[in-house]
């Protein structure tokens, strides 16, 4: 068989006016295949404007609760959150139609049918909801929150999006740490008799999980062959570690360690040129050795990663109650957002159904949260969506190792691990859900750009 030459796109062959729109990140030692934009997005007039980038940063800060937290220092009765959410939804929807027409809707229907199914079911669940008004309000916000994440992941090229995320993480983490120090009344909360940091976020777990996403983001960016503002990435590291420590979010820390381990395994497989079954064997072996080492060193350490007691900090009681709630209405649930909320009526109903003397804010498990609200079938659909979002970057990474896909794997692993002990899926007005959708859509779009270049310039690598 004649030798087949590997074809790569070299940055030196790209026209200068297109250089800004091409992604040059790559993982050593393989040559890179740059990411270019889809043809319609290469038009100068359709490139994101600076004001759109500013809006994206503002929207992400608002989703974390930053503006509301700051204003509480000065105006206790000022609550503008709902108004800002509605404005953000409107701008995101208008921008998608202005720049892409209805194409983004068809794209969603093709690549996110499972998520659409869950969201549509959440909207119609008000017909049998125990608290219909709550379900209507929260399902509308679920649509809007998801739409905002779709806009950010779909509208911005990878380079622009990464710059936006860098600025956002810098503000939320650095300013969050400083705010917790200078304004402890608003930047901290009491947890098991100890003050822990929540920074500019609405709660400490959101602050902790944002910090671990920042860890994954910074690690991948520093490992990339070409990353701008490297100094800023290094400067962020101590602030991120401080946020993780002071937020005291054990589940976030555990999810971070698992995600970093998986990412390191995939990166090692790239360096050693292992693919497919060999890479998964390496990953499985590493998992077994890691669990064995933790068990040998300290059996209590495994429990402490996700909780501070044998019942996972009271989660076992919540899980049992949530499953009993699910069994009361296994097919349809009790209505999206009908119970797991903070209103007086829902708290009383929730305590009655759980048989507890206190009302948890959520089910502390993604599957149980969905099954208790919308039934077991929709919970299965939601879980399949989570698995679909995990498989896609893994497949894309094997086709073309890239920091974009490696980061996508890390985010999906962190979300999956965290969802075992926290409710992270399909939450309205939640910063974690917004960031999750952003990363999922951006990873999917990056894979499409890779396919576009592969068709135009030949496959990234060919076997002789």
pLDDT in tens, 80-101: 888 999 999 999 999 999 999 9
pLDDT of residue 149 exceeding 90: yes
pLDDT of residue 43 exceeding 60: no
Please write the tens of the pLDDT for every residue from 206-221: 999 999 999 999 999 9
Helix 277-297 with 250-271: angle, nearest 10 deg: 140
Tell me how far the alpha carbon of residue 156 is from its chain's centroid. Answer: 16
Is residue 32 one of the residues assigned to a domain? no
Is residue 30 one of the residues assigned to a domain? no
Which range, of 20-34, 44-58, 86-100, 347-361, averages the lowest pLDDT? 20-34
Task: Give me the pLDDT at residue 198, please.
Answer: 94
- Residues 431, 115: Cα–Cα separation, whole Å: 17
Residues in the chain, how many? Answer: 464
pLDDT of residue 419 exceeding 50: yes
Q: Which residue did the predictor score with more confidence, 26 or 457?
A: 457
Boundaries of domain holding 287: 49-457
**Reduced to 3 states, what is the DSSP secondary structure of residue 33?**
coil
Is residue 344 one of the residues assigned to a domain? yes
pLDDT of residue 454 exceeding 50: yes
**Average pLDDT value for residue range 324-344:** 85
Beta bridge partners of 35: 23
Contact 212, 266 (CB under 8 A): no
Tell me how far the alpha carbon of residue 53 is from its chain's centroid. Answer: 19
**Whether the predicted model's global pTM rises above the 0.95 cut:** no
Percent helix, strand and coil across the chain, each rounded to 5? 70, 0, 30
**Reduced to 3 states, what is the DSSP secondary structure of residue 361?**
coil
Tell me how far the alpha carbon of residue 198 is from its chain's centroid. Answer: 18
How does residue 399 score in pLDDT terms, banded at 50, 70 and 90? confident
How much is the CA Rg of the chain, to the nearest whole Å? 22
- Residues 376, 437: Cα–Cα separation, whole Å: 23
Task: Give me the pLDDT at residue 21, please.
Answer: 40
Is residue 56 one of the residues assigned to a domain? yes
- Residues 306, 160: Cα–Cα separation, whole Å: 35
Helix 204-223 with 158-170: angle, nearest 10 deg: 130
Please write the tens of the pLDDT for every residue from 369-397: 999 999 999 999 999 999 999 999 988 98
The two three-digit tokens of residue 225, written as one number = 């062959």
**Average pLDDT value for residue range 111-123:** 96
How does residue 448 score in pLDDT terms, banded at 50, 70 and 90? confident
Is residue 156 one of the residues assigned to a domain? yes
The two three-digit tokens of residue 391, written as one number = 């498989």
Task: Give me the pLDDT at residue 253, please.
Answer: 87
Alpha helices in 39-191 (DSSP H): 50-64, 66-71, 81-100, 103-111, 113-124, 132-155, 158-170, 176-182, 184-187
pLDDT of residue 239 exceeding 50: yes
Please write the tens of the pLDDT for every residue from 246-292: 998 888 888 898 899 888 888 887 777 765 555 666 666 666 666 55
- Residues 54, 42: Cα–Cα separation, whole Å: 21
Mean pLDDT, the chain, integer: 81
**Average pLDDT value for residue range 121-140:** 93
Please name the helix (run of DSSP H) or strand (run of DSSP E) that holds residue 197, with its range, or none: strand 194-197
Contact 325, 339 (CB under 8 A): yes
Please identify which residue in the block is written with the tokens 């669940």: 125
Task: Give me the pLDDT at residue 9, please.
Answer: 37
Q: Smallest Cα–Cα separation from 204: which of 221, 190, 185, 183?
A: 190
Cis peptide before 343 (omega within 30 of 0): no
Q: Which residue did the predictor score with more confidence, 285 or 162?
A: 162
Contact 177, 243 (CB under 8 A): yes
Q: What burial class does residue 323 get, using C-beta atoms within 10 Å of its C-beta: 0-12 exposed, 13-18 middle, 19+ buried?
A: middle
Task: Give me the pLDDT at residue 2, please.
Answer: 43
Task: Give me the pLDDT at residue 23, please.
Answer: 42
The number of C-alpha atoms within 13 Å of 234 and in the hemisphere containing its C-beta is 5
Distances (CA, A) of 314 to 149, 190, 201, 209, 417: 32, 17, 23, 20, 18
Q: Smallest Cα–Cα separation from 65: which of 187, 189, 181?
A: 187
The two three-digit tokens of residue 247, written as one number = 């937020």
Q: Which residue did the predictor score with more confidence, 14 or 434?
A: 434
pLDDT of residue 18 exceeding 70: no
Is residue 36 one of the residues assigned to a domain? no
Contact 337, 137 (CB under 8 A): yes
Task: Give me the pLDDT at residue 76, please.
Answer: 63
How does residue 156 score in pLDDT terms, banded at 50, 70 and 90? very high
Report angle CA 205, 81, 415 to the nearest 5 degrees.
Answer: 30
Contact 244, 212 (CB under 8 A): yes
Helix and strand numbers, DSSP H then E, in the chain = 21, 2
Task: Give me the pLDDT at residue 77, please.
Answer: 65
Is residue 33 one of the residues assigned to a domain? no
Contact 404, 23 (CB under 8 A): yes
Domain count, the chain: 1
**Reduced to 3 states, what is the DSSP secondary structure of residue 208?**
helix
Is residue 1 one of the residues assigned to a domain? no
- Residues 93, 85: Cα–Cα separation, whole Å: 12
pLDDT of residue 314 exceeding 70: no
How does residue 347 score in pLDDT terms, banded at 50, 70 and 90? low
Distances (CA, A) of 16 to 11, 12, 131, 188: 9, 9, 58, 49
**Average pLDDT value for residue range 311-337:** 85
Task: Give me the pLDDT at residue 285, please.
Answer: 64
Task: Give me the pLDDT at residue 183, please.
Answer: 92
**Average pLDDT value for residue range 170-194:** 92
Task: Give me the pLDDT at residue 355, please.
Answer: 64
């Amino acid at each position: 068989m004649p030798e087949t030459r590997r074809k790569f796109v070299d940055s030196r062959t790209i026209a200068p006016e297109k250089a800004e729109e091409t992604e040059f990140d790559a993982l050593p030692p393989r040559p890179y295949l740059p990411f270019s934009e889809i043809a319609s997005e290469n038009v100068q007039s359709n490139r994101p404007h600076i004001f759109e980038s500013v809006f994206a940063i503002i929207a992400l800060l608002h989703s974390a609760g930053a503006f509301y937290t700051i204003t509480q220092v000065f105006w206790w009765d000022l609550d503008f959150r709902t108004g800002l959410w509605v404005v953000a939804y409107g701008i995101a929807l208008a921008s998608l139609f202005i720049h892409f027409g209805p194409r983004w809707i068809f794209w969603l229907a093709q690549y996110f049918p499972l998520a659409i199914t869950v969201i549509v079911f959440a909207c119609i669940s008000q017909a049998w909801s125990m608290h219909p008004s709550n379900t209507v309000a929260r399902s509308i916000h679920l649509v809007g929150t998801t739409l905002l994440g779709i806009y950010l992941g779909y509208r911005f090229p990878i380079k622009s999006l990464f710059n936006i995320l860098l600025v956002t993480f810098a503000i939320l983490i650095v300013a969050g740490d400083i705010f917790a120090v200078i304004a402890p009344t608003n930047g901290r909360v009491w947890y098991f008799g100890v003050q822990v940091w929540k920074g500019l976020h609405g709660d400490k777990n959101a602050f902790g999980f944002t910090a671990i996403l920042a860890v994954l983001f910074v690690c991948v960016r520093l490992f990339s062959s070409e990353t701008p503002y490297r100094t800023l990435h290094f400067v962020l590291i101590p602030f991120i570690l401080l946020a993780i420590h002071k937020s005291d979010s054990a589940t976030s820390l555990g999810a971070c360690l698992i995600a970093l381990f998986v990412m390191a395994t995939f990166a090692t497989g790239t360096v050693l040129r292992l693919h497919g079954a060999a890479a998964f064997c390496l990953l499985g072996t590493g998992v077994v050795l890691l669990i064995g080492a933790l068990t040998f060193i300290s059996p209590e350490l495994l429990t402490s990663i996700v909780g501070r007691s044998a019942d996972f900090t009271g989660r076992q009681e919540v899980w049992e109650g949530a499953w009993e709630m699910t069994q009361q209405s296994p097919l349809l649930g009790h209505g999206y957002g009908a119970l797991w909320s903070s209103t007086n009526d829902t708290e009383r109903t929730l305590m009655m159904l759980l048989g507890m003397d206190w009302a948890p804010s959520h089910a502390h498990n993604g599957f149980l949260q969905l099954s208790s609200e919308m039934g077991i079938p929709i919970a299965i659909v939601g879980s399949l969506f989570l698995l679909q979002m995990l498989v896609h970057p893994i497949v894309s990474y094997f086709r073309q190792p890239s920091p974009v896909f490696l980061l996508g794997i890390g985010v999906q692993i962190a979300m999956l691990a965290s969802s075992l002990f926290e409710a992270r899926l399909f939450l309205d007005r939640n910063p974690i859900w917004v960031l999750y959708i952003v990363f999922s859509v951006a990873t999917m779009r990056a894979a499409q750009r890779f396919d576009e270049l592969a068709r135009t310039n030949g496959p990234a690598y060919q076997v002789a």
